[in-house]
Amino acid sequence: MANSPNRDLDGLLVISLEQAVAAPYAASRLADAGARVIKVERPEGDFARGYDADANGYSSYFVWLNRGKESVALDLKQPGDLKIFKQMLSKADVFIQNLMPGALDRLGVSMADLRQADRRLITCDISGYGASGPFAQMKAYDFLVQAEVGLAQITGAPDEPGRVGVSICDIAAGMTAHAAILQALVARAKTGEGRAIEVSLFHALADWMNVPYLQHHYGGREIRRPGLHHPTIAPYGAYCCGDDRMLLISIQNEREWLRLCSDVLDQPDLPQNPKFDSNVHRVENRTSLDAIVNGVFNQYSIDKIAEKLQAAQIAFGRLNDMDVFTQHPQNRFVSVRTSSGDVQLLSPGAIVNGILPRLGDVPDLGQHSAAIREEFS
């Protein structure tokens, strides 16, 4: 269909010299929108292919982030393969790469020279810590950057820091790169000029850390690990129901607090207690407050508490494990094809014109090498 979001970027050629998560994330979203994305892999393949074999023999991350791409295996240290690569770049609209800083220069490929040769070219460098500064040459992996940027220190239980359970720094960098590339494409349509984009895992996640940064730097606040509780709002967290299942509630204003006390806790006078008459006081007296809420929740099953909260118009969420989540009634699914069969993915978050997106196939290593070598020789 002419107005299908799956064809919005039809006609664009994206060359992505990529590995792991961040660059593949950005490139996969361009492929979803109809761009032709050629994934350039080393002869042994993107190492993310070997993260696990859980998705019909494929790596879970690889299936998620490489649908809709063509794969060409090139050894860029060999003159013939490097020549093909440079010919691909001469035809590209967008070039994405996430090698170590300086690696492209050592191959004799300069982003600045590429843009000078083709002023419409959009280039996107994704690195761990950026192209300059004392950390520029350091290896950077997601978990390490979570620690370096302070996220791990404010995540987890009160007595132990924790890792966010997905590669959030990589994903943040990929999302940031994708948005910047789309903005550059809009600008190019107006000016005819491409852009040089630089994204790093550190800076993408540092942007997301602005709230704790501002609270600490300007407010002097010590950011504590709250576990399954909100650090600055109470009650806002997890409580144990009578069937030993955990349920989270969120009180956002005083009206909701009054309704929780009267309709769920059956303690309508509780808001008059000086320890609980404002959010500031409730946070200061969180231990006492939690004991009261847990005392009531422990008397009922999670379904009964959920029923009471729904009637009182109090927001809540169950602490689901993956078994429950995979069967969640709100899930939307799309399928992608691999050489070992179809894999069902959770759908991308955006639904356009009420239609689920159709995603392309996941390529085997070098699946398109012969055709691409012939095309760009």
* Run of H or E including 237: strand 236-240
Which candidate in 81, 142, 170, 277 is catalytic? 170
Q: How many helices (H) and strands (E) does the chain have?
A: 15, 13
Q: Where are the alpha helices (DSSP H) in 223-313?
A: 254-259, 279-284, 286-297, 302-311
Start-to-end CA span in the chain (Å): 33
Residues 6+ apart with CB under 8 A from 291: none
Cβ atoms of residues 48 and 26 within 8 Å: no
Give the integer Cα–Cα distance in Å for 251 and 110: 53
Is the pLDDT score of 308 beyond 50?
yes
Domain boundaries, the chain: 5-209+331-376, 236-318
Cβ atoms of residues 149 and 156 within 8 Å: no
Q: Is 170 labeled as catalytic in the residue annotation?
A: yes
Domain 236-318 has CATH 3.30.1540.10: yes
Residue-wise pLDDT for 63-87, tens only, equals 999 999 999 999 999 999 999 999 9
Residue 70: CA atoms inside 13 Å, Cβ hemisphere, count? 17
Percent of the chain residues topping a pLDDT of 90: 86
Most distant pair of Cα atoms in the chain: their distance: 80
Is the pLDDT score of 2 beyond 80?
no
> Amino acid letter at 70?
E
Residue-wise pLDDT for 160-195, tens only, equals 999 999 999 999 999 999 999 999 999 999 999 999
Is the pLDDT score of 366 beyond 60?
yes
Nearest to 123 by CA among 104, 96, 105, 85: 96
Is the pLDDT score of 320 beyond 90?
yes
Give residue 5's pLDDT: 66
| Strand, coil or helix: 53 | coil
Does the CA dihedral 5-15-137-196 come out positive or negative? negative
Beta-carbon count within 10 A of 354 CB: 5
Nearest to 293 by CA among 271, 260, 323: 260
Residue-wise pLDDT for 10-36, tens only, equals 999 999 999 999 999 999 999 999 999
Is the pLDDT score of 212 beyond 80?
yes
Give the integer Cα–Cα distance in Å for 145 and 155: 13
Nearest to 310 by CA among 261, 257, 263, 357: 263
Is the pLDDT score of 101 beyond 90?
no
Q: What is the DSSP letter of 262?
A: I
Fold match between domain 5-209+331-376 and domain 236-318: no
**pTM for the full model?**
0.91
Residues facing 157 on adjacent strands: 160
Give the integer Cα–Cα distance in Å for 162 and 165: 9
Give the integer Cα–Cα distance in Å for 228 and 157: 8
- CATH of the domain spanning 5-209+331-376, picked from 3.30.2320.50, 3.40.50.10540, 3.40.190.10, 3.40.50.80: 3.40.50.10540
Q: What is the mean pLDDT of the chain?
A: 94
How far lies 39's CA from each of 70, 78, 289, 301, 359, in Å?
6, 18, 54, 51, 16
Is the pLDDT score of 1 beyond 80?
no
